[in-house]
Amino acid sequence: MISFEKFQNKKIAILGYGREGKSSLQFLLKIGISPRNITILDGAKKIEWLAANLEYLNQTFGIDPDFDIILGANYLDTLKKFDLIIKTPGISLYHSKIYPYKHKITSQAQIFFDYYQGKIIAVSGTKGKSTTCTLIYETLKNAKKNVQLIGNIGNPVLNYLDIKNIESQKNEYAVFEVSSYMLEWLKKNNYISILLNIYSDHIDRHDGFENYKDAKLNLLNGSKYNLVRDEIITKYELDKEDIKELAIRTFGHKGNYIYKDGLFFVKRKKILPADSIILQGEHNMMNICAVLGICDIMKIEYTVFEETLATFKGLPHRMENIWTYGGIQWVDDAISTTPESTIQAIQTFGKNIDTIFLWWTDRGYVFDDLIQCIRKYGIRNVVLFPDSGKRIAQAFKDEDTPAGKEIIRVKIFQTSDMKEAVKFAYKYTKNGKICLLSTASPSYTLRKNFEEKGHLFQQYIKELA
């Protein structure tokens, strides 16, 4: 019989009271923790929906919601008095007031790994997690497996834990999209882990690239099987002993599961061609190689995977061809929020791109390779959104871009208005060419998330009609 003993008779803090914080609170109440032992901590001065939420908890659990609630600037000053702290991923572990209490901190991801009784397929990487997780999920569904898709993609992960009947999920699979935030100090035992890539990202949040890299590599600890991109093995010098100890199988351009010359191979045996696959881009071919590893380990027929690929279109806002209007092909790749993922998009569409929209939020990224890529492929029009557009515009200033024998000068348009950006693209993009929204950085200075900027891009294209 599985119990939740480690939560009993403890003073527990919920650090961050957004969507995940609410889920953590409900988890604690479901396992019988008294409200008197729970404190809610949040940096907001006021939570508008808090009273309604407490009333809901009162009605749902039949308890007096007698929680301590500490809001505002001093919300971190009482951490020392708690036995256990459930931290939301959005709050940095490296905050000077939090780090000294790291030994007390747990997370929804840790709790899920501790108590879920099914087989977890954990997927991480700087880019490609959501697409790969969804592709694995669809493949397992088509293979008649009992599977759920959790993590960054959807609701808080504890929402998927059957607390009342914890043994009931033994025959399930969970495809878990795991972020670097979740991986910090995570200790787990799971079925399969997939590490897709490691690029520079979230450096401010992790207090440097080394901590970010170490969080990603921590995914490989505690897995029965690991599937790791070949470039990671080379770049981070994982030797034969590491590969054996961590039960690593490699995928990519070399290793156990590879893509070469339009064909996919498993252990040097040709499995399927790429010509019937809807997904585009070299990066997606690498993701497909990873899923071939899943099929191999789980003994899923490759024909099932081939049938899944024949209808799988990928995710919204990832190289999504909106339509052709005014002789221009408009492509929404708003989900690309690192230089590396935007480079992948440029390489996918090549010299057909005439205009690109970039969001240059200053997060410690190095954009030299991206600027070189834009020049290499002869992209003539570059739209720059704040907040560091001026800095990048200077890098392009007076630079000529060679495109074959033709010399093309890059035209820069700086704006904070998506509508004006679309009008600019409509005016200057050549007939038959592509306008690509692929922002290379997050857009928090202007937009809530990548979905919002993608939706605006699509909206203003439709208004051209």
Assign residue 13 the CATH number of its domain.
Answer: 3.40.50.720
Quote the CA–CA distance of 233 and 239 in Å, as a whole number.
8
Q: Do 137 and 52 reside in the same domain of the chain? A: no
219 located within any domain = yes
Boundary-marking domain end, from 76, 106, 136: 106
246 located within any domain = yes
Cα 403 to chain centroid distance, Å, stands at: 34
pLDDT at 366: 63
Q: Using N-to-C axis directions, what is the helix angle for 302-309 and 282-298, rounded to 10°?
A: 150
pLDDT at 334: 80
- Which residue do the tokens 């690929």 mark? 309
Quote the CA–CA distance of 258 and 417 in Å, as a whole number.
43
Beta bridge partners of 120: 174
Boundary-marking domain end, from 309, 341, 368: 309
Q: Do 26 and 113 reside in the same domain of the chain? A: no
82 located within any domain = yes
Q: Do 297 and 206 reside in the same domain of the chain? A: yes
Cis before 242? omega within 30: no
Residue range of the domain that includes 425: 320-464
Beta bridge partners of 332: 320, 437
pLDDT at 443: 52
314 located within any domain = no
Q: Using N-to-C axis directions, what is the helix angle for 368-376 and 389-396, rounded to 10°?
A: 50
Q: Do 262 and 287 reside in the same domain of the chain? A: yes
Q: Do 126 and 258 reside in the same domain of the chain? A: yes
Sign of the C-alpha dihedral computed for residues 237, 241, 243 and 246 taken in this order: negative
pLDDT at 209: 85
Q: Do 294 and 358 reside in the same domain of the chain? A: no
Q: What is the number of structural domains in the chain? A: 3
Quote the CA–CA distance of 277 and 313 in Å, as a whole number.
9
Mean pLDDT for back-to-back runs of 10 residues, the chain (465 residues): 85 94 94 95 90 90 90 95 93 92 95 96 88 94 95 80 90 93 91 91 71 92 97 92 95 95 92 82 89 97 94 67 81 78 82 86 64 89 76 61 58 89 93 88 52 81 79
Q: Do 387 and 436 reside in the same domain of the chain? A: yes
Q: Do 369 and 438 reside in the same domain of the chain? A: yes
383 located within any domain = yes
Q: Do 415 and 445 reside in the same domain of the chain? A: yes
pLDDT at 278: 80
Q: Do 344 and 231 reside in the same domain of the chain? A: no
Nearest Cα to 190, choosing from 199, 182, 198? 182
Tokens coding 74: 């001093």
17 located within any domain = yes
Quote the CA–CA distance of 347 and 344 in Å, as a whole number.
5
pLDDT at 157: 93
Task: With residue 282 as reference, give the H or E element that holds it.
Answer: helix 282-298
Boundary-marking domain end, from 48, 73, 106: 106
315 located within any domain = no
395 located within any domain = yes
Nearest Cα to 128, choosing from 311, 292, 288? 288
pLDDT at 318: 60
Q: Do 43 and 118 reside in the same domain of the chain? A: no
Provide the terminal-to-terminal Cα distance of the chain, rounded to the nearest Å.
Answer: 63
R_g of the chain computed on alpha carbons: 24
Q: Do 30 and 147 reside in the same domain of the chain? A: no
Task: With residue 26 as reference, give the H or E element that holds it.
Answer: helix 19-30
CA dihedral 376, 379, 380, 385 (to 10 degrees): -120
